[in-house]
């Protein structure tokens, strides 16, 4: 009885199922370290959004209106149930952490603390508990040495600036003496915040309203100020395009 003919492989099996014994070994190139992209090239640019923010206490005369307009049209910030944004009100630490958690999607456990520790003044049922945990793990904020977080405490401008510098891993390239010389109140900056402030200033995150010559580090940060600095942080990482502010905004040099 004649032997059955051998079937020839076809398709993917024909291309990859047989090895060629005479093929030379593959040459493995040397590893190439990836080069970081400039911040503005890290993400695709989103177009500017035109429109009016839907808050009954804001109009085009407000110094931060162009930025708040861009954020609200993208649903990146929200107001209160009565239709207000309350731009001049101070922002609390819980509100700031919530904004950070909603706007940034960075790897967790970037904080030197690793996982967010439990805070004695916060229970898992707190409305901002999850957001605070996430903001801590991304390296933006932390609690106090006594084990508290003080979620309802208003946050100061310098704490907002330091938080953004820490979370974005900003590094300063100049000395504080040189970089902060234009500011009349530079002596009011606490020593622990100098390096972060210089780095944030160099990255264009700091906005000084109404006087660009005043840092006002200890002043409570208003909701409008925080929104503008968060927008600038999103511009820095390349998520949004820069929105120019009017001269009266007093943005830093």
In which band, very low, low, confident or very high, does the pLDDT at 52 lie, cut at 50, 70 and 90?
low
Q: What share of the chain has pLDDT > 70, as a percent?
A: 72
90: three-class secondary structure by DSSP: strand
Q: Identify the CA nearest to 62 among candidates 89, 83, 88, 81.
A: 88
Buried b (16+ CB within 10 A) or exposed e, 51-74: eebebeebeeebbbbbbbbbbbee
SS3 content of the chain, % helix, strand, coil (to 5): 35, 5, 65
pLDDT higher than threshold 80 for residue 207: yes
Extract the tokens encoding 131.
């957001």
pLDDT score of 245: 86
- The Cα–Cα gap between 242 and 206 comes to 14
Number of neighbours of residue 199 by Cβ within 10 angstroms = 23
Q: Mean of the pLDDT values across residues 38-64?
A: 62
- The Cα–Cα gap between 110 and 170 comes to 13
pLDDT score of 64: 94
Which range (24-33, 46-55, 101-110, 212-221) has the least confidence? 24-33
Q: Mean of the pLDDT values across residues 217-231?
A: 97
Tell me: the pLDDT tens digits for 119-175?
Answer: 999 999 999 999 999 999 999 999 999 999 999 999 999 999 999 999 999 999 999
pLDDT score of 1: 53
CB 236 within 8 A of CB 39: yes
Q: Could you give phi then psi for residue 226, rounded to 5 degrees?
A: -65, -40
More confident residue, 9 or 213: 213
pLDDT score of 219: 97
Tell me: the pLDDT tens digits for 66-120?
Answer: 999 999 889 898 888 898 999 999 999 999 999 999 999 877 666 565 567 789 9
Tell me: the pLDDT tens digits for 19-44?
Answer: 444 544 444 444 444 444 444 333 33
pLDDT score of 163: 97
Considering the chain, what is the average pLDDT of its residues? 81
Extract the tokens encoding 235.
């511009």
pLDDT score of 105: 83
DSSP 191: G
Q: Identify the CA nearest to 110 among candidates 84, 135, 80, 75.
A: 135
User: Whole-prediction pTM value?
Assistant: 0.76
Q: What share of the chain has pLDDT > 90, as a percent?
A: 59
pLDDT higher than threshold 90 for residue 50: no
pLDDT higher than threshold 90 for residue 224: yes
Q: Mean of the pLDDT values across residues 177-188?
A: 95
């Amino acid at each position: 009885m004649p032997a059955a003919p051998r079937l020839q492989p076809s398709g993917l099996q024909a291309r990859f199922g047989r090895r060629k014994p005479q093929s030379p070994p593959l040459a493995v190139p040397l590893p190439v370290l990836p080069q970081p992209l400039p911040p503005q090239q890290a993400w695709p640019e989103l177009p500017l959004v035109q429109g009016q923010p839907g808050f009954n206490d804001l109009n085009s005369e407000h110094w931060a209106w162009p930025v708040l307009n861009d954020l609200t049209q993208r649903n990146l910030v929200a107001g209160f149930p009565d239709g207000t944004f309350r731009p001049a009100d101070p922002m609390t630490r819980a509100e700031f952490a919530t904004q950070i958690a909603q706007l940034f999607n960075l790897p967790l456990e970037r904080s030197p603390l690793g996982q967010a520790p439990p805070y004695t003044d916060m229970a898992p049922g707190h409305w901002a508990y999850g957001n605070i945990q996430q903001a801590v793990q991304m390296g933006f904020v932390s609690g106090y040495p006594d084990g508290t977080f003080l979620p309802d405490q208003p946050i100061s401008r310098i704490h907002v600036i330091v938080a953004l510098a820490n979370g974005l891993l900003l590094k300063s390239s100049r000395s504080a003496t040189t970089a902060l010389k234009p500011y009349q109140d530079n002596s009011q900056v606490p020593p622990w915040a100098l390096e972060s402030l210089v780095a944030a200033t160099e990255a264009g995150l700091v906005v000084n309203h109404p006087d660009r010559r005043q840092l006002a580090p200890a002043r409570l940060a208003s909701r409008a100020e925080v929104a503008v600095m968060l927008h600038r942080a999103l511009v820095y990482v390349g998520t949004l395009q820069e929105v120019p502010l009017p001269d009266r905004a007093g943005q830093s040099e």
